[in-house]
């Protein structure tokens, strides 16, 4: 069965309650971000400490490392900020980081990412490459580069970054991407997943342990994680089978 990841706002006054609700439901992982209106930014030390205290050992806690909104081309100073935030995440007990960095020609910033992945290995952190992937010029080439670096998870919604499109518009591209990845890393599918559209999405994406559905507002009611919605989500995954993929390569 596919995994579930819940993205939580570290700025929420319900942070502790939300994390406990997610963990009690047996959800696979949490992605912790601040500034959700900016598509998710780095988390403060206080919020990370609070989250770690509330999160049990069965639910993975992954922390966003993104020092500012906008593009993913970072200055030397910003790269240093990210490295400091990575160390902080490890010190406070995070299980993984969520990060992305590009060059000006929309390619992964390999020298910087190499440094980050080396740190991750040394500190025992998993690495998710976030939706910077959706801003890359060549998806297939990027997948190979990320695999060579040691990235374990890839977040995408199959549409160009900052186009404000739902995953329903990118699901066919995600299916092609999933076929190309062929289980070599976990595809985290997010950006508009709802209880209403998940059955349709599952008809296109093959639900296995190398697929993770990434949700945020779909499981919230007035800012609080709704355990009934989590239960509906889990029920949907157990009841609805995905279609078998065909081999292919993502379009550039």
For the chain, domain boundaries: 3-239
pLDDT score, position 239:
82
pLDDT score, position 252:
44
Distance CA 132, CA 48 (A): 23
> How much is the pTM?
0.93
Domain spanning 3-239, CATH architecture: Alpha-Beta Barrel (3.20)
Distance CA 133, CA 156 (A): 7
Q: What is the largest CA-CA distance in the chain?
A: 48
Contact 229, 205 (CB under 8 A): no
pLDDT score, position 90:
97
Give the chain's residues under pLDDT 50. Answer: 241-248, 252
């Amino acid at each position: 069965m596919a995994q579930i990841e819940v993205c939580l706002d570290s700025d929420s006054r319900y942070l502790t309650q939300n994390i406990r609700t997610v963990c009690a439901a047996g959800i696979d992982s949490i992605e912790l971000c601040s500034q959700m209106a900016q598509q998710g930014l780095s988390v403060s030390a206080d919020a990370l400490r609070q989250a770690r205290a509330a999160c049990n050992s069965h639910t993975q806690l992954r922390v966003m490392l993104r020092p500012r909104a906008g593009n993913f081309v970072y200055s030397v100073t910003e790269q240093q900020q990210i490295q400091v935030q990575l160390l902080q995440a490890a010190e406070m007990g995070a299980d993984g980081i969520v990060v992305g960095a590009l060059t000006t020609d929309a390619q992964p910033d390999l020298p910087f990412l190499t440094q980050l992945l080396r740190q991750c290995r040394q500190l025992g952190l998993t690495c998710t490459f976030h939706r910077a992937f959706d801003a890359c010029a060549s998806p297939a080439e990027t997948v190979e580069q990320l695999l060579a670096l040691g990235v374990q998870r890839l977040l995408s919604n199959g549409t160009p970054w900052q186009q404000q499109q739902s995953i329903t518009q990118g699901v066919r591209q995600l299916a092609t991407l999933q076929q190309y990845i062929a289980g070599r890393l976990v595809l985290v599918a997010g950006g508009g997943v709802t209880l209403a559209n998940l059955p349709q999405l599952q008809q296109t994406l093959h639900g296995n342990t190398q697929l993770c559905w990434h949700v945020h507002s779909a499981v919230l009611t007035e800012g609080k994680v709704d355990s009934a919605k989590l239960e509906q989500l889990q029920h949907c995954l157990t009841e609805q089978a995905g279609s078998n993929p065909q081999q292919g390569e993502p379009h550039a």
